Amino acid sequence: MQAHLRLLLCVAAISLGGAVIGIDTGIIATVIAQDSFNDFMFPPGTKNASSLLGAIVAMSSTGSAVGSLLCGLTLEKLGRKYTIMISTLFTIVGAVFQTAANGVAMMIVGRLICGIALGILSPSISVYISELARPQERGRFIGAFGLIMSIGFCVANWIGYACSFANTSKIWRLELAMQFPVAVVLLIFCIFLPESPRWLAEKNRPEKFEASIRRIYASEPEEVILKLQVEIQSQIAIEAAERENATLGHALIELFSKKFIRRTALAIAVMQVGILSGSLAIQNYQSLMYKALGFNGQELLLISGCYGFMGVVGQVINLAGVSDKWPRVRTMWVGCIVLAAMLSILAALSKEYGSGQNIVGARAGVAFIFIYSALYAVFFNSTLYTVAAEMFPQHLRGYGTGVAAFCQGVSGIWIGQVTPFAFDAITWKYYFVFIGSLLALGALYAFFLVETNNVSLEEIAGRFGDHVVSADKVDSAIVEKRGEQTTEHLEG
């Protein structure tokens, strides 16, 4: 651990962005369950209250889709570090609008701004960590980001439960204000973080590239640092011709060209499981599910808090036994089958005990929602971001990850809009939308996904048929670089 302490500190600091994301996404589920919020936003006589509530929830996904498209552009032009800082600042602005909201319109604007911020922040952190981490620990480092995200979501749920005991109609504003502290701390931390060495190499800034890589890997042996420098610079040189026209328009065309369409389609499919697994619907509308099982009042918020805690448990299991230990492909397809089984059981329980008259059956339904939360974290919470960020070459990594996240955001919009009506209209049958999606995605992952576990980002490109620098060339370049350093030392 001592050998790469600075790298660990960088990852720990940037992973705080997971808490920003977790609190922002988790807090809305508890806010909309508060009677004081609903009384303020939807007083008696309000028309289309369900539609307006759906708009408030779904607006975050709308903003996330917009932010994801902007993400590729800002990652390429401004760099990884400053993109993360800008998106964090947007989160703070959005939180101000939500906390001070005087009606549905202002609340929607705040949710939109925060959605844009999260659409930029989440893929940006994944890209940043993937470019800093070594192959054998990339999954665990992004998994740590996922763990902090789960903790943030859990904290948001328990804040909601604690606030339910307050005797004030303004308590929902305090809940929304909880988005501020962590975002401010992350913004301060970002000031001291190094820029991604791979981005600096891509932008042909050799002095800053070397300074950054030596700062991050300061305690590593010189041989390791030299090899890493040579591998990155050599692969960047190979991609130089493709990078000359790296505008947003050209990047989008390239992503859907014959050469890269497979990677783009797979990255989109990987990110879709974050929505089509039912995770977003359960996360945002779990109170409706608990009501369908016969629970009401503060019981809903207490159960939501336990749901969030199970996500933390699942992410710990992921870090301990799945990340960088299981192959990525196996993790993805097994996860789809397991979650489909959980939702099938939950659908059956909701059908039989949806009236809430059988308390044992209702509790069993809640238990399976908890198990679902833990298992989603075990298989997908951080894995999908890891895999999506790994697939693309350096000059398209930001754009490609952004496009995949954009498509996820689009799916989130219609799921967010449809879910309240679907639960009202078809109740337990709605689960089969997600069961079918999981089985289809599982088959796709099993037969078409490329394994990326414990492989360097440069070597992954070779698995998709790209020309990559050979080991012999790396060795000869290291010898040449040593000679240059020796000459400089003698001349000095």
Q: What is the pLDDT along the chain (492 residues), one digit of tens a residue?
A: 444 788 889 999 999 999 999 999 888 878 887 888 888 898 887 888 878 887 888 788 789 889 988 888 899 899 999 999 999 999 999 999 999 999 899 999 999 999 999 999 999 999 999 888 888 888 889 889 999 999 998 899 888 888 888 888 888 999 999 999 999 999 999 999 999 998 998 888 989 988 998 888 877 778 878 888 888 887 787 766 555 555 667 888 889 999 899 999 999 999 999 999 988 888 767 776 677 667 777 777 788 788 889 999 999 999 998 888 899 999 999 999 999 999 999 888 877 776 556 677 777 878 888 899 999 999 998 899 889 988 888 888 888 998 998 998 888 888 877 887 887 788 788 889 999 999 999 999 999 999 988 888 878 888 887 766 555 555 565 556 555 555 555 455
Q: How far apart are CA 398 and CA 443, in angstroms?
A: 27
Angle among Cα 471, 472, 473 to the nearest 5 degrees reads 90
Domains of the chain plus CATH, in order, are 2-195+213-220+241-455 (1.20.1250.20)
Kindly list the distances between the CA atom of residue 367 and the CA atoms of 126, 241, 349, 363, in Å, as whole numbers in the listed order: 31, 55, 11, 6
Structure-block tokens of residue 351: 């059908």
Prediction pTM value: 0.84
- Check if the beta carbon of residue 444 is closer than 8 Å to that of residue 262: no
Q: How many helices (H) and strands (E) does the chain have?
A: 24, 0
